[in-house]
Structure 1
């Protein structure tokens, strides 16, 4: 049918494809970090972590892999100096995982001074399903979303990597009602899942998604004792809202870009959104606008249609006070100008052709290097894509 052919073709505006690597058939991608000319590319399934030589971005090449333990996926990576952190979390049932078989739960630590030959130097263990995501932007602290036996789902743990071979947890934070001893004080019903997805640091603040509870701002001036500054229930003030994933501060501004992760196929349920939030009064953050929803018949293309994550502007990566890059699953990569926070405008997009055997692309996560090259993963099969703005 004509509609089916249309959605399988690439479509773009103001972005060009520089290079692509299908990861030798293991194109189920998630988090990407860059180091010494190599992309460390994590996988949704049990493949582990791929190492891709991107020194020639027009010809990225798979050169190695770090395997994942059985029944475990390692879909997040973070690198500071020559220290690589790789998460260990129980493989989800939809990807072949089991709550009955053993799995690894924690963080593996590698020396990547030689990027082609990572050397494991340490391990940090936690409980629950393991580590879902971590933010490690500067030594010594990593802000880790993981599990424990006495706290529901995942919460914040601060881990000290002063000695990468012997990481130590130094602080914790969870929202009241998440601890098993606090269930009577829960302020939410059974129709919501409240968990800490991950946090982005700026100064002595950490900004994060609390899933169905909205946006959280934490004071991390004392890493051993993070405290709550405010929680913005997005569903109440700009609903419907569920699955709040990221709260990212825009450099030089009292402004966050906040994404709700689309978690369902074919536009079932609510519309998932990306918002701009004013934090000039951090105890009373305010939604000022929404990023425009990509136009088109994406609901008929298959897969998820909605935002996932933004380019997280970690030190050494591309920084901007006015441009925001967002992965939008089957609507591909979208770039927005947020100079006027009350009127954000889309200025570029790229929707790659659907991978063979899949109805649509599902662009998942991304990072942008200091020269403006955009490295993006597909969630199920497409692998690594490298893009560049036409006017870069």
Structure 2
């Protein structure tokens, strides 16, 4: 008798499956692209300062255009916005790959094309968040978001390992070309997304929509307190992962292959913890999520202490654990607390605040390392992550905000043993 195929969960709608598959594919390329870009700069005679400038060039347009992306996503069909953004990113990465493969890429070209990639992300991200929120019923939100993040995080493992290996074996240009191809395939998949309930803008202009989004954002103290925390934490993480980590790997750990392996361990931590989060529904969702933020600084600690590669791999794994614990709970909180018609605009303010200091942090990475020493700059990043994770717990809203279960089942309870396991 043939073995029956696993039954697809009822909450896994067509849009959820397409968006998850497209995210996994684009994530494969995106995980390797920062490694390739960093080593393209290093291979072109640059150092930590130049890597920081190129990373900042990508982050600055992300910050500048997120509000535009959020407003467009609440006014236009979200899948159209995502497809257009993916096609734009595919084109910019293809041009960058061609220049790197030709062997004559200049720093200004790296800066301009990295900035184009950041603008593409700014237009894509708020629409993607709104689409995945619409595709998931609230009663299954924690499980669905955990599965979604597991798919994304699994692509981080393969993408980082492949990106590091290909960069070491054949050079960064081919990794950037792969990223462009992944964007193109993802855009093709998202073309088949079905529009959910149409966004309902106010009927006024874009400025009015932005003011409404700001009022929604500013009225929730727990939201802007976390965003203020992440403005510094994200700046530190980006500096460590995009600038200091590749620099240390190039100096004493064996180069791009070693850094790709460490980033893969980060991805393993993301996926393994996703299995837990698919079944665990903590009641104090923000409190539990912030416990994960304490682990964000582990890679900076390992690099600052001069740890060998195995200990760095363990630290990257722990960081991945923390990111998933926070990320799944954060998605549940936003879906629970933010009205659907406002979600993309509020998400844009969330990301704008969270990324606001990242361009400054990466641009100052080289000067900070020169002033404090590379080890001193890494100790500072780790200390800031730990300190801010503790400080936000002073806010009672963050400690007490609780899950509202629409079906009345008990939070913190495990999934019944007889229930089918979720599948992507």
Report the TM-score when normalising by structure 2: 0.25
More strand by share: 1
Structure with bigger RCO (C-alpha 8 Å, 6+ apart): 2
Q: Which has the higher helix share?
A: 2
Greater C-alpha Rg? 2
